[in-house]
Structure 1
């Protein structure tokens, strides 16, 4: 099977034409980018407002509860409800995009809210003491300090939407989901598996690209400060220093060992 998948990926017939792999990848990315862009227009301002004011925090909980909604079932319901009301090809596109937007709002909203809410209150007070008003504090203080978590939420959103945009093929749209749906229907399991591999690789490539963007735009000092804050909060909850580092970074730190009982650093 692996050899057959590799041969399918290398074949010129696979990549040629309007329904070739190159065209399907572009369609898939278009659906994903459109969904994340629309979700960002909703979730980022809302997350900034909730995190800045501390009001309506229940909206974040409601958004996170949307993760439990079955995507495919919601897609069929949306298509049956909106499809007959739209007299164009948009009858297939609009329900799919709405479902994908609902899917990616929670990670974006949670990332923005958590980033803004975690800004040190002393930093906000200092900004206000310098004469900054509400929007100036948000724009010049809270957003720059919250940027690591904001970008992490966007990365999570892209991973989810790229992996899930395949469902659009169920109601007649294109994208990489065509290989999965059509392959299963016709018994062509090589193209089905090949399409799944391409979706996985595409998600990883986009996540890697966004990781490079995050590294380029986020100040190293913010990353260090957020890691230390995460370790401190986790130790207060009873976690070890190494577990806290793994929770924040994904790997233990070897450069700054901490004595677990004394909170003193080993002298260099």
Structure 2
């Protein structure tokens, strides 16, 4: 037998787990950014053509919108990175055989963060801790850890056991099996959880405006409290565009990180 040939078990299992996935066409990749660009153009044309009062001129100034967008992205990116640092390692550990007795308790613990409404968590932090950027990041991370954790566990447990057994039989260590087989095959499911977390974070970050974290939520809050519905509408549109853009970029990352053949 050739030294490069695979055992029949590996070959048959690989045929199942590497079924090719249809890639998006060029039009599929371009549709969303073109649509979002058109929405933004329409939004800023609407702002430029409207007779703005002093409050609207201040809140809808280009520099102000850019500054709030940067704050929004900073909250989203940092909180999501914290989620990844926590959820993926913990998810890996909870799928190991030695951790099975504590898995239900760990899931219940992380479920607390999602069970508590984010606005309630933010208000609690504002009362007992502080206001601003850091409490908002912590609240967002607590709220979105569970989707990534759950998807990490699901992705790893759905890897065909026969593939793992064959790899172990070929002499691969447990770490090598994890890094070279389990995690690459689990990437699509993990990325689905990441996309969910990102989208939730973009939408929920608007609540940071209530405790002085800025973000595009400032437009929505100031427009509503000051009886300026045009500001509120513009803020809502910008948050929606940002959420769709982040989800689109996460989809590109998923396509790029997906192992060949999946």
In 2, distance between residues paired with 1:193 and 1:125?
Answer: 56
1:154-179 alpha-carbon deviations (Å, 9 max, x no partner): 00000000000011110112110100
Query: TM-score when scaled to structure 1?
Result: 0.73
From the superposition, tell whether residues 163 and 4 of structure 1 become closer, same or farther in structure 2 (CA, over 3 Å): closer
Query: 1:210 matched to which residue of 2?
Result: 250
**Distance apart, 1:24 and its partner CA:** 1.1
2:121 maps to which of 68, 74, 79: 74
Q: Say if 2:43 and 2:234, in contact at 8 Å, map to a contact too.
A: no
Q: What's the C-alpha RMSD, in Å, of the aligned pairs? A: 2.2
* More off after superposition, 6-15 vs 57-66: 6-15
1:94 aligns with 2:140: no
Q: State the secondary structure of the residue aligned to 2:129.
A: helix
C-alpha deviation, 1:149, in angstroms: 0.4
Tell me, what secondary structure is at the counterpart of 1:131?
coil
Q: Which runs of 4+ in 1 moved over 6 A?
A: 9-13
Larger RCO: 1 or 2 (CA < 8 Å, sep 6+): 2
Q: Give structure 2 stretches of 5+ with no counterpart.
A: 1-41, 51-56
Aligned pair in 2 of structure 1 residues 37, 137: CA closer, same or farther (>3 Å)? same
Contact 1:52 1:116 in 2 (8 A): no
Q: 1:34-53 residue pairs with structure 2 within 5 A?
A: 34-53=78-97
* C-alpha distance after superposition, 1:120-142 (max 9, x if no partner): 11111112112222222211111
> Partners in 2 of 1:9 and 1:115 — Cα distance?
48
Change in Cα spacing, 1:10 to 1:162, as seen in structure 2 (3 Å) is farther
Q: Secondary structure at the match of 2:172?
A: coil
* Compared CA separation, residues 10 and 82, structure 1 to 2 (3 A): farther
Q: 1:177 to 1:124 in 2, by over 3 A?
A: same
Mapping of residues 54-203 of structure 1, within 5 Å: 55=100, 56-58=102-104, 59-83=106-130, 91-203=131-243
Distance 1:189 1:182 in 2: 9
TM-score by length of 2: 0.74
Q: How many residue pairs get matched?
A: 211
Deviations 1:84-143 (A, max 9, x none): xxxxxxx52221111000011011101111100111111111121122222222111110
Aligned counterparts of 2:245 and 2:132: Cα–Cα separation in 1: 28
SS at 1:221 equivalent: coil
CA pair 10-154 structure 1, distance change in 2 beyond 3 A: farther
Distance in 1 (alpha carbons) for counterparts of 2:112 and 2:123:
20
